[in-house]
Structure 1
Amino acid sequence: MKALLLTFSLGLLAALQAQTFPTTEETRDVTGTWYMKATASDKWIPEKLRSVSVTPMTITALEGGNLQVKFNVLIAGQCRETSTVLEKTDEPDKYTADGGTQVFYIIPSAVEDHYILYGQYKVHKLHFQGAKLLGRDPGISLEALEDFRNAVRAGGLNEEDIFIPKQSGRKQLCPLGLGT
């Protein structure tokens, strides 16, 4: 369950075939604080995970074009700071993690200060795809959400499975600093 929640929180969702992604040679600055605004997956997500509060994630640039992603999760009543490294590949906008068992594409949304994170995941023997809409602020942009719906549809995921997680700051999620 912890691995599934961690994967859900990190990349929970999505990936499409590489040829369906618009790519570019330009370098994007995706560093800083990001809020997960919406998610979708090709697998059913239990209501328990749909009701999880999410904290902002921080993306930091590392050597070689790799990215470190940090966020907090509440597991068994304890706050845990979690981080993972997305390793840059030779393909534009494509990253891998966890020894290549996870593949991510960071694609700009048509709406400024929003990106779509597509991922292909393998947890134990479970394979799934998903997408997340990320934005620079916690508010919901209807225009960005519509762009996300279009991307989900184009990627073969079911737009009916899109859900919007509750935003929570680290202090709200872990008011006493438990566990970290």
Structure 2
Amino acid sequence: MKTLFLAISLGLVATLQAQDPSAEDGEIEDMSGRWYMKAMTADKQMPGRKVQFVTPMTITALEGGNLEIEVTMVANGQCEEMQVDLKKADKPGKYTAFWGMRRVSIIKSSVKDHYVLYCEGKLFGIQVRMAKLVGRDPENNQEALEDFKEIAAARGISSGRVTVLKQTETCPPGNK
């Protein structure tokens, strides 16, 4: 289960108040507050348990431009609370996590209030690239999902591995 949560956290470590130079339509908004992780994909099959539900993410701006992300996931009937600290990197819109082992950037979607969190780094000695689609509301948006698939494919991640995530407000009783 830890493998799965480490893999998922690659994407979680990126939802921030950053500006990504690769964002085409101007600045990235202040990302503090509540966000929903709607879909995820990776360039490699991730071992571990399947995520059944995910709660809204809370993103908090910290001193020095660093960020903190909190989220709970339900995998195989068990809730796993996660807190990931993002350290501001030298370039705008870039962060590191897990002692500098993961690099994170934000890509603005062409769909309003949606972003793609692109992460790369080693996971148990294997180089992995992951992408997560996040949005301000919990509803799935087909246009945002298609844009997400295109962004991931442009970075070498097959759209055939996309998992659409189910939302829950809290960890269901009996799953802690």
TM-score class, shorter-chain normalisation, is 0.7 to 0.9
The aligned runs of 1:48-127 (5 Å cut-off) are 48-49=49-50, 51-74=51-74, 79-127=79-127
Structure 1 runs of 4+ with >4 Å offset? 23-27, 74-78
1:11 counterpart residue number = 10
Q: 1:67-113: CA deviations, max 9, x gaps?
A: 10001134786534320111111212111001111111112111111
When residues 43 and 12 of structure 1 are mapped into structure 2, their CA distance, relative to the original with a 3 A threshold, is farther
When residues 76 and 147 of structure 1 are mapped into structure 2, their CA distance, relative to the original with a 3 A threshold, is closer
1:29 counterpart residue number = 30
1:41 counterpart residue number = 42
The aligned runs of 1:96-175 (5 Å cut-off) are 96-170=96-170, 173-175=171-173
2:17 counterpart residue number = none
Q: Which of the pair has the greater relative contact order for Cα pairs under 8 Å at 6+ separation?
A: 1
When residues 86 and 113 of structure 1 are mapped into structure 2, their CA distance, relative to the original with a 3 A threshold, is same
Return the TM-score normalized by structure 1. 0.81
Return the TM-score normalized by structure 2. 0.83
Name the CA distance, whole Å, in 1 between partners of 2:157 and 2:85.
Answer: 26
The aligned amino acid for 1:82 is M
Runs of 5+ in structure 1 lacking a partner? 14-20
Name the CA distance, whole Å, in 1 between partners of 2:42 and 2:144.
Answer: 18
CA contact (8 A) 2:52 2:76 kept: no
Name the CA distance, whole Å, in 2 between partners of 1:12 and 1:117.
Answer: 6
Aligned length: 167
CA contact (8 A) 1:88 1:96 kept: yes
Name the CA distance, whole Å, in 2 between partners of 1:28 and 1:149.
Answer: 22
The aligned amino acid for 2:34 is T
Name the CA distance, whole Å, in 2 between partners of 1:90 and 1:67.
Answer: 15
Secondary structure of the 1:69 match is strand
CA contact (8 A) 1:93 1:107 kept: no
Name the CA distance, whole Å, in 1 between partners of 2:86 and 2:33.
Answer: 15
Structure having the higher helix fraction is 1
The aligned amino acid for 1:32 is G
Name the CA distance, whole Å, in 2 between partners of 1:33 and 1:10.
Answer: 16
